[in-house]
Amino acid sequence: MAYRIIFHVDMNSFYASVEAAYNPNLKGKPIAIAGNPEERKGIIVTSSYEARAKGVKTTMPLWEARKLCPDLIVMRPNFNRYRIASKEMFKILSEVTPYVQPVSIDEGYMDITDCEQKGSPIAIAQALQQKIATQLDLPCSIGIAPNKFLAKMASDMKKPMGITVLRKRDLPVKLWPLPIEEMYGIGKKTAEKLNQIEIFTIKDLAHADPPTLKRLLGINGERLQNRANGIDPSPVDPEAVHDFKSIGSSETLPQDTTDENEIRKLFRHLARNVARRLKRKQAVGRNIQIMIRFHNRKTITRSMKLPEFIEDEEEIFGAGYALFEQHWNGDPVRLLGITIQDIAEKKEIAQQLDLFTYEVDASKEKLYKAIDQLTDKFGKNPFIKLNNPIDDDEPRTSFQKDFLDDYRD
C-alpha cells in the first residue's frame, strides 16, 4: 500500500468543553458531566482538565469526585447540544477532505494523502485545530501518522490542543516503551492475559512469539502484534458509519431494585429508544439480546432468535421482557439493556406478508403517516407526553452512531 497521511482528530474533554463554549462563565472551572447529579450512584461521564488536575476521573462515583474537588460544577449531559457541536466539527473536517470517518461523537479519522496543495500535514493540522477553536470555541488534539492505529495513538500523546506526528521510525522511542494497557484495542482483560506471558509493554507485544499470541488471543493476537509494529492497512472509510450490526440501549436504575413495576417501566423506556433508532435507520432486526447487571455487578446477557424481523416498540418490549422473566433470579437489579441484533435495512429485505399481517401493517401505516406529518409540521411528535423531560430521540451516549453522518446534510 502506498504511503498515506492519516489524521485522528480527538476533541478534548468534549462534553465539558461544549458546556464551557455554550456558557463562557464556566471556562477555566472544574466541570464534570454526570448522568444523575442528584443521585447517590451518579458517576462521572467526563470532566474538564481543571477537574482532572484535582484527580477527578471518568466513571468515578460522584461522591468521590466531590470529595477530591469540593468546588466541582456538576451538570447533566445535554446530548442534543453535543450532537449539534459534533455535526459542526465534522463539517469542518469534511471541508479539508471527503475522506472523513467518524468513529464516535467526538473523534474521527481523515485521509489527507491527496491534500498536498493545501500545505504540509502539520500546517493542515494547525489550520484545522485553529478553525475548530475559532468557529466552535472547542479544543482538539490531532495525531498524524501513516495509518489509523498510529494516528489514534498519536492523538493521545499530547492533550489538550496537541499535534503529534508518529512515524514508523519513531516506534522504539515514542510507542514501544508504553505500558501494554495504554495500547488502543487492548482492554483490561486482554492486558491481564498478556501479562501472564510476560508482555508488559507495547515493545514486548511487538517482539512476542506469534504462535504463543495466537494460542492466547486467536486471530486478534496477530492483528494486535501487527499494530504494535506499526502495521494497520485499514482504510479511512466515510461509509463505515453505516455498517451497523446491532442497535441497543441500556440504563442504570437510580437504585438497585427488585420492584417489577420499576423494571417493566425501564424495559418499556429502553424498547422505545431502540424502536426509534431502528426507525431512524430504516432498519429491522431478527435477534434480541438483554443485559442484566445485578447489585453485586455480576452481569449476564441472554439472547433469542426471533421467527421474523421486528422493529416495533411493543414487539421489542414483549420479547425483551419475556427473556428477562425467563432468566431473572430475583436478585436486585442495577442496570438493564436491550439490543436488537441481526440487523437489516428495510430496503434490503422483501418481507412476504400474508393477508392478516398485511392488513395489520396497512392499518398502522396510516397512523404512522399522520404522526410523521404532524411531526414535520410541529417539529416534534405531538403525541409524546408534554411532561416528559427526556427526548428519547436524542443520542444518550457517544457509542450511539446512528447520527454520525448528519454533517453531510
Give tens-digit pLDDT for 319-350: 999 999 999 999 999 999 999 988 877 765 54
Which of 38, 50, 88, 107 is flagged as catalytic?
A: 107
Please give the pLDDT value at position 354: 39
Domains along the chain with CATH numbers: 6-13+80-170 (3.30.70.270), 15-78 (3.40.1170.60), 172-228 (1.10.150.20), 243-408 (3.30.1490.100)
Radius of gyration of the chain (CA): 23
Within 89-204, strands assigned E span 100-104, 107-111, 140-145, 163-165
* Residue scoring higher pLDDT (390 or 52): 52
Kindly tell me if the per-residue pLDDT of 275 is higher than 70: yes
As a whole number of angstroms, the distance between CA 335 and CA 341 comes to 19
DSSP-assigned letters across all residues of 54-68: TT--TT-BHHHHHHH
Helices 210-217, 188-196: inter-axial angle, 10-degree rounding: 130
107 catalytic per annotation: yes
The residue written with cell numbers 446477557 in the block is: 301
Task: Take residue 377 and report the three cell numbers written for it.
Answer: 409540521
Kindly tell me if the per-residue pLDDT of 361 is higher than 60: no
* Residue 10 marked ligand-binding: yes
How far is residue 88 from each of residues 13, 31, 83, 137, 142, measured CA to CA in Å? 17, 23, 9, 11, 17
Give tens-digit pLDDT for 223-245: 999 999 999 999 999 887 666 67
Task: Take residue 280 and report the three cell numbers written for it.
Answer: 431512524
As a whole number of angstroms, the distance between CA 334 and CA 257 comes to 7
* Residue 137 marked ligand-binding: no
Percent of the chain past pLDDT 90, that is, above it, reads 61
Is the CB of residue 181 less than 8 Å from the CB of residue 191?
Answer: yes
